[in-house]
Structure 1
């Protein structure tokens, strides 16, 4: 039950926060439909206009999406994810790669400096899973396994802010990887990540950054 007493001056913002919290904790997972407007009015104890404004704000932020004749659905877990997903979806491919480089190269460098034995265990397991996923020939399985390895690298950097920012672009990055690899999953599109993990293991920050950067060479413009 979400019912609460809300001050008039911050009514809409507090409703936005209440709805966002339900999404954040998984009460309304991504892809599911949120309760109807009358139900939200009842749950929150506020007027229809207040609920409507809050839903509209979250829709504009990319967290929610209204589907005509069906309802309103959760599209992302937070405003940052929604905004980033929209930006990545319409951005110049070169710019997208540059943003990924900014995040992933620095993450690899920091991981080499800060990794723990537990981080190495996670990296080794993720690398094995990624290679096994490639052998299945299933693009969706591979993309998820590839993402898990990169998330493990970012986690080994031990920078919570970097990890949160990287998580916000996760869906967009997985989509770009799927396009880059292609449904055929040809041998020529497979990029080994063993050297990256080895550099992190060796605490070689420069080599780790170099290996991470090699995966993300920006396309050359004609």
Structure 2
């Protein structure tokens, strides 16, 4: 079944675009009219029907992809992957969580993965961290903010990976969408954005030297500066 011929979406006002696009997509997908495997309209068609830009649409689709509801395949479009969905899934709740609560949870998570990474990191882990750290700095200097944010997130994920605790790594990965959103908003709202690369470098050095106390210190400082 293809949903190209189904009832059109209504135009979305500029206010809270991503949330409203997500709500409309969910309403259509879970309306009972469609089955697993159904193809969504093309990206240009959805942009036109919803009255939003490509980045807004992709952000909403990305959330549904992370929730395993949609699947995107290059050259084949976007299809419905699953209709088994609960509105209170962890990923969805994170999108609407109080920012102070997110920072509190991140502080606990960042602190723990930094401690474990300082104790358990391997040479391979260190090489990954350094690579992401170098790319982070290079992309910022070029003004490539999207690539900078991506490298920043990969740096922190590499620390979580170095913890050798797959549960903590999975938890950290679930924070990626909100981290990307938060960093993007920070850059947009700050006239003269100042990066905290020095703290990141000190955090890396602490993990390199297996200095647990310093790793804890800089993990906390990193959050305080955001």
Q: Shorter-chain TM-score: which interval?
A: 0.5 to 0.7
Match of 1:216 in 2: 223
Aligned-pair CA distance for 1:179: 1.7
Match of 1:124 in 2: 130
Runs (4 or more) in structure 1 with deviation over 6 Å come to none
Question: Larger radius of gyration, structure 1 or 2?
Answer: 1
Aligned-pair CA distance for 1:153: 0.7
The CA distance in 1 between the partners of 2:224 and 2:142, in whole Å, is 26
Match of 1:64 in 2: 69
Q: Deviations over 1:97-146 (max 9, x none)?
A: 11111111110111000011111111111110111111121221111010
Structure 1 length-normalised TM: 0.61
Q: Tell me if 1:96 matches 2:102.
A: yes
Higher relative contact order (CA 8 A, sep 6+): 1
Number of equivalent positions: 159
The secondary structure found in structure 2 opposite 1:85 is helix
User: Does the CA-based 8 Å contact 2:196-2:222 persist in structure 1?
Assistant: no
Q: Tell me if 1:198 matches 2:194.
A: no
The CA distance in 2 between the partners of 1:122 and 1:175, in whole Å, is 24
User: Does the CA-based 8 Å contact 2:37-2:80 persist in structure 1?
Assistant: no
User: Does the CA-based 8 Å contact 1:98-1:218 persist in structure 2?
Assistant: no
The CA distance in 1 between the partners of 2:128 and 2:169, in whole Å, is 15
Aligned pairs (5 A) from 1:64-83: 64=69, 83=89
The CA distance in 2 between the partners of 1:127 and 1:179, in whole Å, is 21
Q: Deviations over 1:29-61 (max 9, x none)?
A: xxxx9xx946759xxxxxxxxxxxxxxxxx8x9
The CA distance in 1 between the partners of 2:85 and 2:168, in whole Å, is 17
The CA distance in 2 between the partners of 1:190 and 1:218, in whole Å, is 7
